[in-house]
C-alpha cells in the first residue's frame, strides 16, 4: 500500500439482490492529485462502483482502500475524507442555497461561528453569492450542479467522487465546471474520480480513463495512450487521377506496405504523428508525381477507442 494511491480497488464485485452482476471483479488505483475518469455505456456499472466507493452501497466481494484505510473497517474515516456529488443532484427543494450549505456544514460537525464561515467560503469558492437567498428550484441546472458541488466540498475532502457531474449542462456551463474542477485540484490538491458520457470531458479533463463495459474494465490508460492503441494517425490524400503502376511501385518503395491504403482516388498513409508528418509525406507523394487535390489528417479519437473496446459509439455526445 502506498500513500501515493488515494484509491485502491481490488477484485471488486457487486451482485444486486435481483441477481444482476453489475461489477465483475475490477482492479485499479487512483494516484494523489489525479482526475480519473470512468467511461462506459448505460448500465456498465459506473454508478455502482462510485456508490460502493462512497460507502453508499454494500460491496459483495473484494476491497476498496481509500487513503490507506479499508472501506470494510474504516467507514467513518473514509466518509470524512470524501465528497460525493451524485448523478441526480439530490437537492432539497424547500431551502435556499446558503441554507443547504449550512445544513451540510452542520452535518459534518461544524458548530457556532465555524458554520457561517464555511457557508461564506463555499459561496465564494463556487461563485454562488448572488444566489445565496434563492430557493433551490429557482436555480438553473448549472447553478444547481455548482451548489451540489459546494455541499460536497464543505468539509474539505481529499477525494471527490463525481457521478456524471456535467450531464444536462450546456457546453459553456460544462467547460466552466471543468475549469472549476481543475482549480480545485490545483489549489487544494483534491483527487477526483468521475463517470461521464462525454468524450470531450474524458479527453480534456481526465489524466487517465477506465473504459468499463458490462461490469468489467476493458481498457485503462491516459487518453493519449488509449488513442494510440487504436492505430496510427492517417494522412488522407485526395487525388485527381488514379494511381498508375509505376507510381504504385514508387509508393511501395517509399513507404511500408502496411502503411499504405488506397481506393480509386484516395490514398491513406499511416504515420506516427499526423501533424509533424504531413509536410514531409506530402513532399514524397508529390515527388512520385501523384496529383494531390486535398489533404486531411485523421487522428484516432476517444470515440474510436470506445468503439474498439465496447463495440458501441459514445452516447451523450451532442
Ligand X SMILES: Nc1ncnc2c1ncn2[C@@H]1O[C@H](COP(=O)(O)OP(=O)(O)OP(=O)(O)O)[C@@H](O)[C@H]1O
Using CB under 6 A, which of the segments 24-32, 45-53, 123-131, 281-289 binds ligand X?
A: 45-53
Any contact of residue 100 with ligand X (CB under 6 A)? Answer: no
Nearer to ligand X, 30 or 44 (CB): 44
Q: Please, which of residues 175-204 interact with Mg ion by CB under 5 A?
A: none
d(CA 48, CA 214): 12
CB of 40 to ligand X, least distance (A): 5
Among 48, 82, 54, residue whose Cα is nearest residue 214? 48
d(CA 155, CA 163): 19
CB of 96 to ligand X, least distance (A): 29
Residue 272 φ then ψ, to 5° = -75, -40
Among 208, 210, 233, residue whose Cα is nearest residue 222? 208
Q: Please choose which of ligand X, Mg ion, none residue 44 contacts, taking the beta carbon within 5 to 8 angstroms, the exact cut-off set by kind.
A: ligand X
Q: What is the DSSP letter of 314?
A: P
Any contact of residue 22 with ligand X (CB under 6 A)? Answer: yes
CB of 70 to ligand X, least distance (A): 22
Sign of CA dihedral 214, 217, 222, 227: negative
Q: Please choose which of Mg ion, ligand X, none residue 139 contacts, taking the beta carbon within 5 to 8 angstroms, the exact cut-off set by kind.
A: none
Q: Are 101 and 154 in contact (CB under 8 A)?
A: yes
Candidates 5, 37, 46, 145; binder of ligand X (CB under 6 A) is 46
Any contact of residue 54 with ligand X (CB under 6 A)? Answer: no
Nearer to ligand X, 118 or 208 (CB): 208
Candidates 23, 26, 35, 47; binder of Mg ion (CB under 5 A) is 47
Q: b/e string for 88-101 if b means 16 or more Cβ within 10 A?
A: ebebeeeebbbbbb
Candidates 44, 147, 153, 190; binder of ligand X (CB under 6 A) is 44
CB of 156 to Mg ion, least distance (A): 26
Nearer to Mg ion, 131 or 198 (CB): 198
Candidates 5, 47, 144, 270; binder of ligand X (CB under 6 A) is 47
Any contact of residue 48 with ligand X (CB under 6 A)? Answer: yes
d(CA 63, CA 61): 7
Nearer to ligand X, 110 or 198 (CB): 198
Nearer to ligand X, 41 or 83 (CB): 41
Using CB under 6 A, which of the segments 36-44, 115-123, 241-249, 277-285 binds ligand X?
A: 36-44
Phi/psi region, residue 109 (left: phi>0; alpha: psi -120 to 50; beta: rest), is: left
Among 34, 33, 35, residue whose Cα is nearest residue 196? 35
Q: What is the DSSP letter of 18?
A: T
> Is 52 in a helix, a strand, or coil?
helix
Using CB under 5 A, which of the segments 43-51, 78-86, 105-113, 254-262 binds Mg ion?
A: 43-51
Any idea of the CA torsion for 100, 105, 106, 107, to the nearest 10 degrees?
A: 90
The residues that touch ligand X, with contacts defined as CB under 6 A, are 16, 18, 20, 22, 40, 42-48, 87
Amino acid at each position: 500500500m502506498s500513500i501515493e494511491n488515494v484509491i485502491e480497488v481490488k477484485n471488486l464485485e457487486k451482485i444486486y439482490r435481483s441477481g444482476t452482476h453489475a461489477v465483475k471483479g475490477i482492479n485499479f488505483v487512483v494516484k494523489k492529485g489525479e482526475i480519473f475518469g470512468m467511461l462506459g455505456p448505460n448500465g456498465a456499472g459506473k454508478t455502482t462502483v462510485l456508490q460502493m466507493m462512497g460507502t453508499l452501497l454494500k460491496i459483495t466481494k473484494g476491497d476498496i482502500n481509500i487513503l490507506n484505510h479499508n472501506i470494510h473497517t474504516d467507514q467513518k474515516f473514509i466518509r470524512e475524507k470524501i465528497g460525493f456529488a451524485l448523478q441526480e443532484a439530490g437537492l432539497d427543494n424547500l431551502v435556499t442555497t446558503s441554507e443547504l450549505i449550512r445544513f451540510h456544514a452542520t452535518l459534518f460537525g461544524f458548530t457556532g461561528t465555524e458554520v457561517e464561515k464555511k457557508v461564506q467560503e463555499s459561496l465564494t469558492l463556487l461563485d454562488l453569492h448572488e444566489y445565496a437567498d434563492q430557493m433551490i428550484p429557482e436555480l438553473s441546472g448549472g447553478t444547481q450542479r455548482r451548489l451540489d458541488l459546494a455541499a460536497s466540498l464543505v468539509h474539505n475532502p481529499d477525494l471527490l467522487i463525481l457521478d456524471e457531474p456535467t450531464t444536462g449542462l450546456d457546453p459553456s456551463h460544462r467547460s466552466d465546471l471543468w475549469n472549476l474542477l481543475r482549480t480545485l485540484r490545483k489549489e487544494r490538491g483534491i483527487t477526483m474520480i468521475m463517470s461521464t458520457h462525454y468524450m470531450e470531458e474524458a479527453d480534456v479533463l481526465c489524466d487517465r480513463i477506465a473504459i468499463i463495459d458490462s461490469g468489467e474494465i476493458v481498457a485503462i490508460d491516459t487518453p493519449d495512450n488509449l488513442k494510440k492503441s487504436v492505430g496510427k494517425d492517417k494522412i488522407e490524400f485526395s487525388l485527381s487521377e488514379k494511381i498508375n503502376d509505376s507510381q504504385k511501385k514508387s509508393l511501395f518503395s517509399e513507404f511500408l506496405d502496411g502503411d499504405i491504403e488506397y481506393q480509386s482516388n484516395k490514398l491513406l498513409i499511416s504515420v506516427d504523428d499526423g501533424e509533424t508528418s504531413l509536410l514531409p509525406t506530402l513532399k514524397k507523394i508529390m515527388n512520385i508525381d501523384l496529383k494531390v487535390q486535398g489533404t486531411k489528417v485523421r487522428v484516432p479519437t476517444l470515440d474510436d477507442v470506445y468503439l474498439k473496446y465496447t463495440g458501441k459509439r459514445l452516447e451523450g455526445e451532442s
